[in-house]
């Protein structure tokens, strides 16, 4: 009977391998791409995919697509690499947020949340009693996993890999915090049953949780480069944001 209940590990949709990604052109905030959450929402709403204005099952499918990969690259976050000049958003509580990272890890955490819920349902079903003890342990582990933690772990894998494949981008100061806050949004705030659209939920998260503000309010705005530098001007190997009041 166990073959009817496949082992869905936290890496199920990427062939049971931890995420191995590169950040192809998102190095760190630069002035031409520093924008606002309202500008990002306008850009998102204008995409032909309809992702920004989606609700319900369509929004559910859309956020799942955000976390998918094509080889070693994110498959569906390409449009956010420039975002009409609104890729990097400054927030009082989260520092600079890279929206390409934010959207990707929102999708991954939401996917892990679905896997966790599926595992919990199976653990409480009759079928759970008919699988091997080893399989039971795997399902119990999945049922107890932390979706945000799993997604953030993926982010650490990405940055570690970037040391070798994309050193110009590895551990740029906004990457890991962007991953963490994206994962938090995907797992704990996004609700496909909400009356708000996908983009409205993002706006709400940035306004109420992260306290988004004008990029000119960032303490390092005047020193932002106009072009991507060859290597990060500042690195950050933690999910704690920088260029904020308690960590300038």
Residue 154 falls inside a structural domain = yes
Residue 84 falls inside a structural domain = yes
Residue 77 falls inside a structural domain = yes
pTM for the structure as a whole: 0.88
When comparing pLDDT for 166 and 111, which is higher?
111
- The pLDDT value recorded for residue 220 is 98
- How much of the chain, in percent, has pLDDT values that exceed 90? 76
Question: Which of 188, 201, 182 has its CA nearest to residue 55?
Answer: 201
Q: Is the pLDDT of residue 46 over 60?
A: yes
Instruction: Point out the least confidently predicted range of 27-36, 79-88, 129-138.
Output: 79-88
Q: How many domains does the chain have?
A: 1
Which domain does 49 fall in, by range?
Answer: 2-223
Residue 234 falls inside a structural domain = no
Instruction: Point out the least confidently predicted range of 1-15, 23-37, 130-144, 146-160.
Output: 1-15
Q: Is the pLDDT of residue 94 over 70?
A: yes
Residue 231 falls inside a structural domain = no
Structure tokens, 132: 């091997």
Distance CA 91, CA 168 (A): 24
- The pLDDT value recorded for residue 180 is 98
Distance CA 233, CA 127 (A): 54
Residue 244 falls inside a structural domain = no
Residue 216 falls inside a structural domain = yes
Q: Is the pLDDT of residue 39 over 90?
A: yes
Banded pLDDT at 7 (limits 50, 70, 90):
very low
- The pLDDT value recorded for residue 85 is 83
DSSP string, 1-61: -GGGS----TTGGGTT-------SS--S--GGGEE-HHHHHHHHHTSTT--TT--HHHHHH
- The pLDDT value recorded for residue 50 is 96
Q: Are 136 and 93 in contact (CB under 8 A)?
A: no
> For residue range 220-244, what is the model confidence (pLDDT) as tens digits?
999 999 999 988 999 999 999 999 9
Q: Are 159 and 27 in contact (CB under 8 A)?
A: no
Q: Is the pLDDT of residue 245 over 90?
A: yes
Distance CA 34, CA 157 (A): 26
Instruction: Point out the least confidently predicted range of 35-39, 83-87, 121-125.
Output: 83-87
- For 144, the 3-state DSSP assignment is coil
Q: Please provide the average confidence, as pLDDT, over all residues in the chain.
A: 89
Question: Which of 147, 50, 141, 57 has its CA nearest to residue 108?
Answer: 147
Residue 80 falls inside a structural domain = yes
């Amino acid at each position: 009977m166990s073959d009817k209940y496949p082992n869905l590990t936290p890496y199920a949709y990427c062939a049971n391998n931890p995420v191995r990604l590169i950040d192809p052109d998102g190095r760190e905030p630069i002035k031409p791409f520093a924008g606002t959450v309202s500008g990002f929402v306008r850009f998102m709403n204008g995409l032909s995919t309809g992702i920004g204005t989606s609700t319900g099952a369509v929004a559910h499918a859309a956020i799942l697509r955000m976390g998918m990969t094509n080889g070693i690259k994110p498959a569906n976050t390409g449009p956010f690499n420039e975002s009409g000049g609104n890729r990097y958003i400054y927030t009082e509580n989260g520092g600079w947020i890279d929206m390409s990272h934010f959207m990707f890890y929102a999708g991954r955490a939401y996917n892990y949340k679905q896997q966790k819920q599926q595992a919990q349902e199976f653990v409480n079903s009759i079928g759970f009693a008919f699988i091997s003890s080893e399989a039971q342990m795997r399902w119990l582990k999945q049922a107890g996993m932390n979706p945000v933690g799993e997604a953030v772990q993926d982010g650490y894998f990405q940055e570690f890999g970037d040391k070798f494949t994309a050193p110009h981008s590895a551990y740029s100061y906004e990457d890991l915090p962007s991953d963490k806050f994206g994962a938090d949004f995907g797992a704990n705030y996004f609700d496909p049953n909400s009356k708000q659209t996908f983009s409205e939920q993002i706006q709400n998260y940035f306004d109420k949780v992260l306290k988004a503000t004008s990029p000119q309010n960032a303490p390092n705005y005047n020193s932002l480069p106009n072009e991507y530098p060859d290597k990060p001007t500042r690195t950050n190997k933690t999910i704690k944001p920088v260029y904020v009041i308690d960590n300038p």
